[in-house]
Amino acid sequence: MEENLSLKERMAEAGFTQAELAEAVNADLRAAGYEGSVSDRTVRNWLTGKTRWPHRRQRAALEAVFNCPAVEMGFVPRRGEPSSPDIPATEETVLRRHFFSVSTGVALAPVAQQRVGASDVQRLLSKFAVLIASDHRYGGKITIETQASALAGEALSLQARGTASQRVRGALYGCAASFTSSAMWAAIDGRRFDAAQRHFDRASSLAVMSGDPTIQFRIWSHAGSLYRHLARPADALAANDVARNLPIARRDPMFASLGHARHAAIHGLTGDTRAVRQALGHAQDALRQADPNEQRPMWLNAFYDQAELENLALAAYLSLGNYEEAEAHAHRSLALVRPEMRRTRAITTTRLAHAQLGQGDLEPAVATAISVPTDPVGQHPRVLGMLSDFGNALHIAAPKSPSTRTWTEYVHASQRNPQ
C-alpha cells in the first residue's frame, strides 16, 4: 500500500484531524439524504492507501469538502472507471451543491452563505453537556474520546462553512478547543497517553484562536495532569503554572482553587510535604472565597467542588506516603461526592484502600477494595490499574494473611464471573 500524501497535505492545510474530516464528510452525506457512515477508520484507510478509490457518494462528499476532484486528492480510479463520472444533475446532486454552496462558501452556485449564530453554538454546547455527564459517570472510554473529537470537528465544520460574527467565530473555536480538551482528558483517563498528547497539541492551538482564557486554563491544567500521570513532575508543574498564571485564575477564585489543588497533587510526586500543605491551604482559601452564583463553564461546574479538592489532597498525601492524612481526606471526599460522579467515587474508594493498606490495616483495606463496583466503573482503566497495584502491594506486605487470601479469591471469582 502506498500512503496518500495528497490527501494528508490537504487535511493539514484545512486543519482536519481524521475524526474531523469524517464528520465533515458525514455532514455532506446527511445533507444529501444518506446515512453518515464514515468513521476515522475510514479516513485512516484513505490515508494509508488501503482504500484507493472511495465509494461514489463518499467521493462526491470529499470533492465538496475540498472543492477539487478526487484524483487531485491522491485517489486512483479503478480500471475502466472514469475519474470524474458524468453523473446527471439528479435531486441528490442538486441538494449536495446547494448544501455546500450555502455552508462552505464554495462557488458552486449563486446561493447565499449560511449564517452561523449563537443558537448553533448553544446546540453544540447541549451535546457537550451530555458528553460531560457520560464522562463523569464512566470516564476514560474511547467512545467518549471519539465523540468529543467528532464534536470538535462539527464546530470546525461550522466555522469553515458559514458566515458568522467575530464573537461567534471565537465561540466556535472555543467549542472546538473545549471538546478536544475533553477528548484529551478521556485519553488521559483511559491511559492512552500518546493520544492525549496529540489532543493537547491540537487543543492548545484552538484555544489561542478562541481567545477564551477559561478554555486555555482547562487545557493547560489537563496538560499538568497528563504529565503528573506520566510521572514527569517538572513538566507537570510547568504546565500547571501556565494555567495558574492566566488572568482567569487571578479573577475567579474557583479557577485559582483548582490550580492550587492540582499543584498539590503534583508536589506529592516530588516528596515536598511543605509545598503540598501550602498549595492545599491556598486551594481551600480560594474555594471559600469563590462566589457559588458566578457563571462558569459547564466543565468546571460539573466536577470541581470540595469533594474534588479532598480527592486531590488524597492523591497528594498518598504520593507522600502519609497514609493517615490520605485516609482522612478520602473519607471527607466520599462523604461529599455527588451521586452521579460514579467514576470519581470508584477512584477515591480505591485510593482509600491504598491508604488503609499503607497503615497495615489489611482487613479494612481489602473490604474497601472489594466494595468498588466491578461494572462499569470497575472496568475503568485507572481503577483497574490501581486495584492491580493494590493487590501487588498486599501480596508483598502480607503474602500469607487471611486478608490476602480473601482478595485473591475475590479477584479469581471476578475474572470467572464478570458482571
| DSSP calls for 10-58 | HHHHHT--HHHHHHHHHHHHHHTTS-----HHHHHHHHHTSSSS--HHH
Domain end: 77, 112, 147, which one?
A: 112
Q: Is residue 250 part of a domain?
A: no
Q: How far apart are CA 153 and CA 150, in angstroms?
A: 5
Q: Is residue 412 part of a domain?
A: no
Same structural domain, 50 and 63: yes
How do the residues of the chain divide into helix, strand and coil, expressed in percent and rounded to 5? 75, 0, 25
- pLDDT above 90 covers a percentage of the chain that reads 52
Q: Cell 472510554: give the residue.
A: 141
State the average pLDDT over residues 401-408: 97
Same structural domain, 108 and 9: yes
Q: Is residue 347 part of a domain?
A: no
> Under a CB-based contact definition with an 8 Å cutoff, are residues 313 and 257 in contact?
no
pLDDT at residue 20, rounded to an integer: 72
pLDDT in tens, 358-393: 999 999 999 999 999 887 666 778 888 999 999 999
Which comes out higher in pLDDT, residue 130 or 309?
309
Q: Which amino acid is it at 162? A: G
Same structural domain, 176 and 98: no
Same structural domain, 131 and 193: yes
Total domains in the chain come to 2
User: 163 forms bridges with which residues in the sheet?
Assistant: 115
> Over 70: is that where the pLDDT of 91 sits?
no
pLDDT at residue 377, rounded to an integer: 62
Same structural domain, 77 and 129: no
pLDDT in tens, 95-125: 343 333 333 333 333 334 577 888 888 888 8
pLDDT at residue 95, rounded to an integer: 38
Same structural domain, 105 and 148: no
SS3 163: strand
Q: How far apart are CA 159 and CA 298, in angstroms?
A: 22
Q: Is residue 82 part of a domain?
A: yes
Q: How far apart are CA 323 and CA 13, in angstroms?
A: 52
State the average pLDDT over residues 43-55: 92
pLDDT category of residue 90 using cuts at 50, 70 and 90: very low
Domain end: 112, 143, 165, which one?
A: 112
Structural domain harbouring 83:
5-112
pTM for the model stands at 0.70
Q: How far apart are CA 58 and CA 53, in angstroms?
A: 10
Q: Is residue 189 part of a domain?
A: yes
Domain end: 112, 145, 177, which one?
A: 112
Which comes out higher in pLDDT, residue 405 or 413?
405
pLDDT in tens, 154-192: 888 887 776 778 888 888 998 999 899 989 998 998 888
How many CB atoms lie under 10 A from the CB of residue 409? 10
Q: Is residue 45 part of a domain?
A: yes
Which comes out higher in pLDDT, residue 302 or 140?
302
Which comes out higher in pLDDT, residue 284 or 412?
284
Same structural domain, 138 and 202: yes
Q: Is residue 154 part of a domain?
A: yes
Q: Which amino acid is it at 244? A: R
Same structural domain, 173 and 201: yes
Q: Is residue 67 part of a domain?
A: yes
pLDDT at residue 9, rounded to an integer: 86
